Structure 1
Amino acid sequence: MKRLRFAAQINPTKSEIAHEPRDAEVSFLPMEAVGDDGSLNLERTRPIGEVETGYTYFREGDVTVAKITPCFENGKGAVMRGLVGGFGFGTTELTVARPRVGLTSSEYLHWLFSSSPFRSLGEASMYGAGGQKRVPEDFFRDFAIGLPALAEQTAIAAFLDRETAKIDALVAEQEKLIALLKEKRQAVISHAVTKGLNPDAPMKPSGIEWLGAVPAHWAIMRLKRDLAFITSGSRGWAEYYADDGELFIRIGNLTRETLELDRSDIQRVSAPAGAEGERTVVAPGDLLFSITAYLGSVAVAPEGMEKAYVSQHVALARLTGAKLLPRWVGYIVLSAVGKTYLDEQAYGGTKIQLGLDDVANMTCIVPPLEEQKQIATALDKLTSEVDSLLAEAECAITLLKERRAALISAAVTGQIDVRGIAT
């Protein structure tokens, strides 16, 4: 058993490069150049004279770990390999560990720093407030490890390199499947809301370049022709937040993939009395649009939903139902043509947004009401099936990542003996 400071030098001094020319180029690593997966982006270089003050120093073979939240929890850190000139400087939010020659290997230290025991104890030791919490240097120095012989460290690192690569490949396959399923879902939605379910239906030009031909018996109109009204919440709702109040629907409760509300992070409010509160009460069947971020996010308020209000970032559109059904309009928004319209209407610089008039003027394809219902019902079924497949893939990723974390922890703590299998 050793404390880490006896196995590695923590934050070594840069005095060892005092003899280097100040104009010599070395690698420069801001935090974004250090990956959560141990990768490095070594595109940037700087002269030593520009970075020797105010930045963290490291050299070839050192191991770095981000010490600030949430980078530490996310696993940012890497073995410094391929540095220009053999040296580098980077963000001050990195802690550097230099293996002691003959005692510790860089790769083993990196896997140790990636392990759950190290991460959980480091997170518990953080000091500071909010987004400025950091792991103290003393935690690194005093962290106790059961240090195997150097040959066994090499075996452990080789074993983990190989086995985690297999797991990472399986995760990548599931992520590719998720991307393909999402593409298929949008493609099916887009085809259904522009072509219908009958492949033999006669077609006609829509007169809109990005929409193309539509079934001959469908109409084209603006959403406002079937609006009872459209509104959004006002600023200042924060003063009404209440744990035991009514639902408060924000952009985060809408998605660009489904018409259902996401209640995983729901806020509640005790709404003001009078018109200010009543005008933003959500009724079943109301369409809810994001108008200040993540344009194309939409939901349809379900039947039986408890009382809810909308924020100033959400447009509430209530239809008369004479020409358009809410779920039909919702699927138009989720389709490629809906996204095209909303993206074209968005304005602003760093903060893209829509006005209520932009939403009201959205182009809608209008089949007969009964056909709208049939298509929406078919899409409900299809998207539900796709969502089930997505959930299975996401569950598989979660299990694989848990397996990866458990494998790393077991190997670096000696719970499994890899000497005979890491060859």
Structure 2
Amino acid sequence: MSGTSMYPRQRLKFAATINDEALGEDVAPDFEIQYIDIGNVDSSGTIHEIATYRFEAAPSRARRIVRDGDVIISTVRTYLQAIAPIASPSDNLIVSTGFAVIRPRTGALDAKFCRYVLREPTFLAEVEMRSTGISYPAINASEIGDIAIPYPPLPEQGVIADFIEAESNHIDALIAAKQRLLELLAEKRRAIVAEAVMRGLNPAAPLRPSGIDWLGDIPAHWEALDLKWVIASISSGVSVNATDQPVIGNEPGVLKTSAAIGGRFLPAENKAVWETEYERLACPVKAESIIVSRMNTPALVAESGYVETDYPNLFLPDRLWQVELNKNRAVPKFIAQVLSSHIVRSSLSEMATGTSASMKNLSQEDLLNFPVPLPPLAEQHEIVLHIAAETAKIDRLRAATEHSITLLKERRGALIAAAVTGQIDIPEAA
């Protein structure tokens, strides 16, 4: 199949139907549905964590019916590119009305080709361009239907789709291998940190019982003290109205709860605050503090991150704490390493309470009364330096691996774009 010329384009509404089926109000209250919301679809087209509801308890937007071969496109926050194919769905799979359900017309659009052509860069750019709204850009279904897509003859669509699928599977296998490497690197990093902060650097040092079940023995010259003896202050911000976009330049922003995870502080995880809310902002991010998630899902509550430098334009929400240490008793980065260790975070998470299974709250009292191993101050400094040296090699390899994953995803995107538009030669099916 020659790739010397571009394929003609056809408006999507002539090749597919949109939003054909929806649940009515006569559905039995106890009818069980499997539900996909906007947040369950990522930018790569993967669907995560399908929820189960009885119809009477389901969100009011749980209405769109999907069938095998459909493609769902988020019509809100379109910059997230939440687009996913539907393959062999259960009879009770329902998606949010925040999706447009694209159904290829028989004899006009190949279903497999459809899943790829709706990720072609010109189509994606057109979706964003036609979206309206600044903080919550959205597009209606008729606008999506009016966008033109590359439209090769139907027999060629199937050949193109099979080619893309085969090439994408190869790329996805490489990505999966690299993601597994990232998991192994993370495990090794956690082991290095845990060994250093729980047992010290001298394997021959005599040990004694710590008196703490989860900690076990510690070096005999160490203490095991509640955090309240080394914490100077705990503060938090307030809940404010903000956009979905990160700050630009030095404009004020509020941190997302995802700003602290695995011992790392991620300042880019923020949202620009509405100008009318500026006066309500409190608790700017300070250097040598530890950000702790006091309220989150069971898997993420008590996550923490160490702050290296001041961020005067970034502020805490009410769901995050900023913990400052008494530097005469503890090295802030050492305590940060302790809090980020898997066994400590798990223990704190188990202490979190709440009536909701999806959201837990860690009390300040429980954090203050939580015991931690505490070496002499000079030894804390030595442990911090040791961890930095040992994990630097892992972090460099992690960064290189993450970069290679990004390049592979870009390669996959470029392949799809070139194939569906007719820019590359594709072997004819045997």
Could you say whether these structures have the same fold, taking a TM-score greater than 0.5 normalized by the shorter chain as the test?
yes
Give the residue type in structure 2 aligned to 1:394. Answer: E
What corresponds to 1:116 in structure 2? 121
- Kept in 1, the 8 Å contact 2:12–2:149? The answer is no
What corresponds to 2:83 in structure 1? 76
Aligned ranges 1:133-282 → 2 under 5 Å: 133-140=138-145, 142-227=146-231, 229-233=232-236, 235=238, 250=255, 252=257, 254-260=259-265, 262-263=267-268, 265=270
Per-residue CA deviations over 1:162-198 (Å, capped at 9, x if unaligned) read 0011111111112211222222211221111111111
Structure 2: distance between partners of 1:263 and 1:166: 32
* SS in structure 1 of the partner of residue 380 of structure 2: helix
Give the residue type in structure 2 aligned to 1:195. Answer: R
- Kept in 2, the 8 Å contact 1:281–1:307? The answer is yes
What corresponds to 2:10 in structure 1? 3
Aligned residues: 395
Match of 1:326 among 329, 332, 339: 332
- Kept in 2, the 8 Å contact 1:261–1:300? The answer is no
Aligned ranges 1:43-54 → 2 under 5 Å: none
Q: 1:318 to 1:97 in 2, by over 3 A?
A: closer
Structure 1: distance between partners of 2:229 and 2:361: 23
- Kept in 1, the 8 Å contact 2:236–2:317? The answer is yes
Show structure 2 runs of 5+ residues with no match.
1-7, 22-26, 55-61
Q: 1:6 to 1:375 in 2, by over 3 A?
A: closer
TM-superposed deviation, 1:406: 0.8
What corresponds to 2:57 in structure 1? none
- When normalised by structure 1's length, the TM-score is 0.76
Give the residue type in structure 2 aligned to 1:193. Answer: V
* SS in structure 2 of the partner of residue 114 of structure 1: coil
Q: CA RMSD in A?
A: 4.4
Structure 1: distance between partners of 2:423 and 2:87: 28
Structure 1: distance between partners of 2:391 and 2:19: 55
- Kept in 2, the 8 Å contact 1:125–1:135? The answer is no
- Kept in 1, the 8 Å contact 2:285–2:310? The answer is no
Per-residue CA deviations over 1:260-310 (Å, capped at 9, x if unaligned) read 56355376899989xx97xx5776544443323343333445467769865
- When normalised by structure 2's length, the TM-score is 0.75
Structure 2: distance between partners of 1:171 and 1:182: 16
* SS in structure 1 of the partner of residue 393 of structure 2: helix
What corresponds to 1:66 in structure 2? 73
Give the residue type in structure 2 aligned to 1:290. Answer: S
Q: 1:371 to 1:364 in 2, by over 3 A?
A: same
Structure 1: distance between partners of 2:378 and 2:64: 67
- Kept in 2, the 8 Å contact 1:248–1:267? The answer is yes
Show structure 1 runs of 5+ residues with no match.
15-21, 47-53
Higher helix share: 1
Aligned ranges 1:319-358 → 2 under 5 Å: 319-350=325-356, 351-358=359-366
Match of 1:359 among 367, 383, 387: 367
Structure 2: distance between partners of 1:245 and 1:132: 23
Greater Cα radius of gyration, structure 1 or 2? 1
Per-residue CA deviations over 1:93-148 (Å, capped at 9, x if unaligned) read 333333342x44222222212322222212322356755723432532x4334432
